[in-house]
Amino acid sequence: MTDWELRMRIVGIRRQGETGTEVAGLSPDGREITVLAPLEEFWADPSGHLARGGGGPALAASSVTFVPPVRPDARVICVGLNYLKHVAEGTFRDQELPPHPTLFARWTQSLTVDGAEVPVPAGEDGLDWEGEVVAWIGAPLVDATPEEALAAVVGYSTFNDLTSRRAQKLTSQWILGKNGDRSGPLGPMVPAADVGDLRDGLRVVTRVNGEVVQDGRTDEMVYGVGDTLAHISRTFTLRPGDLLATGTPSGVGYARTPPWLLGPGDVVEVEVERLGRLRNTVVSNEARRSAVRASRAPAH
């Protein structure tokens, strides 16, 4: 493994005046990026691009816009109720643990990056935090064994599954509450070889305005990454660029007495051992409406 591989974190970028997304390696100090490939080209051979390292141009990080390095047609599959203590603290505490993981979906449009502002949707008292880890699939999976599925994971990221609880609880399906605008902040991807096995127990910590609200470890997961991906692959084919959000530890806001939700001005951070820290500020719904109005304004 090269020194470049050991230090790189994978991000998506857009250059000024360009609309296409490129995948790049971010330097440890966050000041420089090295372009790897256009988005679709990278996901056609992610392991190959990681192995070859940063042969593309180097650019100042301040000269580009960061975006998730996610294919527009990627599937974002999420595991709910994947930590026993989280199950015990919430609405499902009196139900028997299901034999298979509870899965729901996000759309790629709900994803954003470190530093982005996240609006509270209309009708919500606030947003709830859910710090967790995302696994990135790097090879096709069809009827895979758990071992094959785990070997196909090309990297991991810190993730915050920010949730609109009112919308989530309106029906038995969770999609509405899990797809608010910019409600899925996603950190840089760290190559799997640099992360190791989540079963070794990486620490997952969430802070709100500096106060620790979640503190768990990934070895507490009920359904492991390999088993879950293998289970999914028996129904539909997983492709390079698809993502698996692995669930959150205990300590979410709605389960507290009284409930504690994120409002405008609150800063939420998720930090995962070996993966880094993700920091986002919550803003009002007016910021969301203003952004839509600005996008509709005629060009001058």
Q: Domains of the chain, with CATH numbers?
A: 3-67 (no CATH), 76-290 (3.90.850.10)
Helix or strand holding residue 6 (H, E): helix 3-7
Helix, coil or strand: residue 116? coil
pTM above threshold 0.95:
no
Match 């503190």 to its residue by tokens.
Answer: 215
Residue range 72-77: average pLDDT?
98
pLDDT of residue 137: 98
Encoded amino acid at 200, one letter: D
In angstroms and rounded to an integer, the radius of gyration of the C-alpha atoms of the chain is 19
How far does Cα 15 stand from its chain's mean position? Answer: 23
Residue 300 has pLDDT above 70, yes or no: no
Tokens standing for 224? Answer: 């492991």
**How far is residue 75 from each of residues 57, 237, 238, 253, 276, measured CA to CA in Å?**
30, 10, 8, 27, 23
| pLDDT tens profile 225-244 | 999 999 999 999 999 999 99
| pLDDT tens profile 83-139 | 877 676 655 566 677 788 999 999 999 999 999 999 999 999 999 999 999 999 999
**Count of positions (residues) in the chain:** 300
The dihedral sign for the CA sequence 194, 32, 246, 262: positive
pLDDT of residue 292: 75
pLDDT of residue 2: 44
